[in-house]
Amino acid sequence: MAISRRHFLKGLAASSAAALIGQSLLVRTAQAAVSAEGTWRMAGSHWGAVKALVKGGVVADIKPFEKDKYPTDMINGIKGLIYNPSRIRYPMARLDWLKNRQHSDRKQRGDNRFVRLTWDEALDLFHEELERVQTTYGPSGLYAGATGWRQTGQFHSCGSHMQRAVNLHGNFVSKVGDYSTGAGQVILPYVLGSTEVYDQGTSWPLILENTKTLVLWANDPYKNLQVGWNCETHEAYAYLEQLKARVAAGDIKVISIDPVQTKTQGYLGCEQLYINPQSDVAFMLALAHTLYSEQLHDDTFLNTYTLGFEPFIAYVMGKGDDKIEKTPEWATPICGIDSDQIREFARLLAADRTQLIFGWAIQRQQHGEQPYWAGAVLAAMLGQIGLPGGGISYAHHYSSIGVPATNASTPGGFPRNLDPGKVPVHNNTDFKGASRIIPVARWIDCILEPGGKLQYNGSEVTYPDIKMSIFSGCNPWHHHQDHNRMKRAFYELETVVTIDYSWNATCRFSDLVLPACTQFERNDIDVYGSYAKRGVLAMHQLVDPLFHSRSDFDIFTDLCRRYGRHNEYTQNKDEFQWLKELYDDCRKANEGKYEMPEFEQFWKDGYVDFGPGENWVRHASFREDPEVNAVGTPSGFIEISSRKIGSYGYDDCQQHPIWMEKTERSHGGPGSDKYPLWLQSVHPDKRLHSQMCESDEYRATYAVQGREPVYLSPADAKARGISDGDVVRVFNDRGQLLAGAVVSDHFPTGVIRIQEGAWYGPTDASIGALDTYGDPNTLTLDVGTSRLAQAPSANTCLVEIEVFDGPVPPVTSFGGPRLVDA
Ligand SMILES: Nc1nc2c(c(=O)[nH]1)N[C@H]1C(S)=C(S)[C@@H](COP(=O)(O)OP(=O)(O)OC[C@H]3O[C@@H](n4cnc5c(=O)[nH]c(N)nc54)[C@H](O)[C@@H]3O)O[C@H]1N2
Ligand SMILES: Nc1nc2c(c(=O)[nH]1)N[C@H]1C(S)=C(S)[C@@H](COP(=O)(O)OP(=O)(O)OC[C@H]3O[C@@H](n4cnc5c(=O)[nH]c(N)nc54)[C@H](O)[C@@H]3O)O[C@H]1N2
Ligand SMILES: [Mo]
């Protein structure tokens, strides 16, 4: 193994991959034969199922899997993801932590000075720290709940490996919810009876056939369907292509409600309805007002399928506590849409079959529960929920939702929990009165206020006193808001361990860093087509783990060895035995439904296809019979008002949807006199969050003077003397960053965009340090959406921007740590 690494380092071709890999199944199935022309092998990623040309032990080329007719451009970044200077080469420890451990100077965290370790040293340290924290503080001292967008592959799913291994050692604090849909997944079960956000949606063919007006509300599917939770095959794009043709023919009207001209809008050639950021609920209430005043709402639907319309409509009509009638004239100054246009739009929605399709960014803001709830109320007033091409969806921009899905069973994964009846080495369940589970986006609050109380979804959370954190398959120094606040919290942590394959900012702020390999350096299986469940893919190992990296499975097997639990961890199975078992279980579950060959044949073929999927209509069974197929709300009906939520007594999430002003809002809202620009940190067009930012050549295709782009309107640029291509400073009271200006008329005055996932690269470790590359979470606000969901509010954020004068500091984000001697 070491030979191949050295060969790679020198840029020489390794002699024979087969010889180096040894007696693996790759060899058994002759997949690893190395010839001058190389071999094409099947692989998979969030960006798509792909085929990779492996030549001389190196990944030389990537092309789409033949079933992927609409591959994303991002597969051109994959080679650079494998081979780049930010790959973690060895296990490493932060200099002062290695010397002083829990007594280290934590203010040095972020200065990026690290010492190289051997695997044995690193895993011994990891084990010692687990022991120390369990015996000194108990399970409430350890947070191992954070996981995220681990690479595809059901077996190697790295969060499960970390959590199973740590579970075998002792208990720990975990999390509930996620950053994607934190508000939506909590509010919608009260309203529509399920999370909706992760549920299958009405099939695209039925939408194309039946819908007359399609509203994309805060939604950019053409951009966001490029990635999927599993190995994507991008079939939704075939339907977007048909939609484009229907729009051109005038058969379907598509309207994008968005402050920005989106990529989808440009592709479809559809209309944009401009709206001021964060003001959608005011607009929705005015739409409800018009529908009701003009008797355009569906009384029969409301009476048959919903509860609690009366208090809501009383509030809209000015009979609520605030005595304000939510007329279009009331809404206009808030949402920026002319009152006549509001009325016309309400009439259009009621005129024919209307499908509302929401994106998720709109609930990633303060009071993010409200637009989802108000959207459901509008859909209920229109009375089309459960009809093909009508009603509401919260997910058609995600992971092939809406592509007709098969009924196939898909492969399971490596278990994250202990096997039944097993207990950890330290079976201490005393959390000292603190909660065992915290809302995911509140972990920084928790570290800053141990013992503090938090209202969450009808219960009270008591913050544990966390001393050690472990991160695997996530990058909190991209995903969490307000990095300068995070620095303060990290002063309180004694030990931070990160397992990743790239030296991102989370590694920089850790004490112990372990190098995992990428999914291209191990064997795995996964479903392809994400929610459409189109088939099972063999993810063949392409090359050896680079440098000293290892698979998460190998890393945690060896950690468990240190406390005698390695056999329990692996269940005495190696990688291939696991893959075969996961496949065989799946094959068995599909017996009589879908034909699947023996594992060996599947592995050789590279995939097994389940054939076409079936059309389906969301909420149709409820519409058919609301008694028998009641939705999962407390009453079984759609709840326009919720007694349950009302009983919590929260002022920031009351018993029906209401308009609430935000802490920060542009276009005349609070804070806009000092910081007039709304910063939206949407999901990147050419990355998956922070993944692939390290892919140097690919990054160069969009970076501006080596910095992350910040998009702004011509008017805002002109007012500040900013030209396209300038390095600019974006700032507010929370932080400051450098970015490269892209002046674009897709952006209105008062709105700027920096895509999330840009690698944080501060000039030094201090609080307030300038971020040299442009991570928007240097600037975002770290507050919960409300007491109900406590979800992140990244899109509630105001800033100012100026030309940066003075010498521009180099970007510090990439290229790994500063190696020093102990
Ligand atoms: N401002 C702002 N912030 C946001 C958002 C926003 O819209 N605006 N969006 C939020 C949302 S929706 C999300 S989902 C989060 C995403 O947050 P994350 O899931 O934390 O983001 P990723 O960049 O995908 O981080 C995954 C990390 O796992 C590593 N990794 C991948 N595969 C493996 C593996 O096999 N083994 C190991 N050990 N590591 C691996 C990758 O290298 C990467 O560093 O960000 C959130 N943050
Ligand atoms: N290419 C790519 N695709 C992805 C991802 C990725 O990283 N890259 N990440 C995946 C993940 S984990 C997730 S969670 C989803 C995220 O999916 P979303 O959260 O839906 O996506 P975003 O791109 O953040 O935002 C979508 C649109 O919302 C608009 N918007 C923002 N605020 C408002 C508002 O107040 N009002 C209105 N009307 N519109 C608003 C934005 O202008 C943008 O056009 O995407 C998934 N798909
Ligand atoms: Mo997400």
Helix 339-351 × helix 328-335 angle, to 10° = 110
Ligand 1 atom closest to Cα of residue 364:
7
Task: Look at the pTM and tell me if it is higher than 0.85.
Answer: yes
Convert 559-575 into a string of H (helix), E (strand) and C (coil): HHHCCCCHHHHHCCCCH
| Strand partners of residue 539 | 524
- Give the pLDDT mean for 241-264: 98
Question: Which of 157, 471, 506, 690 for mutating ligand 1's site (highest number of atoms within 8 Å of CB)?
Answer: 690
Name the nearest CA neighbour of 168 among 415, 413, 412, 440: 415
- The confidence score (pLDDT) of residue 4 equals 41
Q: Which residues contact 89 (CB under 8 A, 6 or more apart)?
A: 515, 546, 547, 548, 549, 816
For residue 367, the 8-state DSSP code is T
Report the pocket of ligand 1 as residue ranges, CB < 6 Å: 148-151, 156, 158, 179-180, 364, 472-475, 478-479, 499-502, 504, 516, 519, 552, 681, 683, 688-691, 756-757, 776-777, 780, 794
**Tens of pLDDT along 723-774?**
999 999 999 999 999 999 999 999 999 999 999 999 999 999 999 999 999 9
Q: For the chain, what is the mean pLDDT?
A: 95
- The finding on whether 360 has its CB within 6 A of some atom of ligand 2 is yes
Assess whether pLDDT exceeds 90 at residue 12. Answer: no
How far apart are the CA of 127 and the centre of ligand 1, in A?
Answer: 26
Assess whether pLDDT exceeds 80 at residue 37. Answer: yes
Closest ligand to residue 360's CA: 2
**Tens of pLDDT along 433-487?**
999 999 999 999 999 999 999 999 999 999 999 999 999 999 999 999 999 999 9
**Tens of pLDDT along 314-348?**
999 999 999 999 999 999 999 999 999 999 999 99
Show contacts of 9-14: CB within 8 Å, 24+ apart: 9/547, 13/55, 13/56, 13/57, 13/58, 14/56, 14/57, 14/58, 14/544
- The confidence score (pLDDT) of residue 421 equals 96
**Tens of pLDDT along 653-675?**
999 999 999 999 999 999 999 99
- pLDDT interval class at 34 (50, 70, 90): low
Assess whether pLDDT exceeds 70 at residue 790. Answer: yes
- Give the pLDDT mean for 292-320: 98
Q: Which residues contact 242 (CB under 8 A, 6 or more apart)?
A: 204, 208
- Give the pLDDT mean for 382-410: 98
Give the span between the Cα atoms of 448 and 756, in whole angstroms.
24
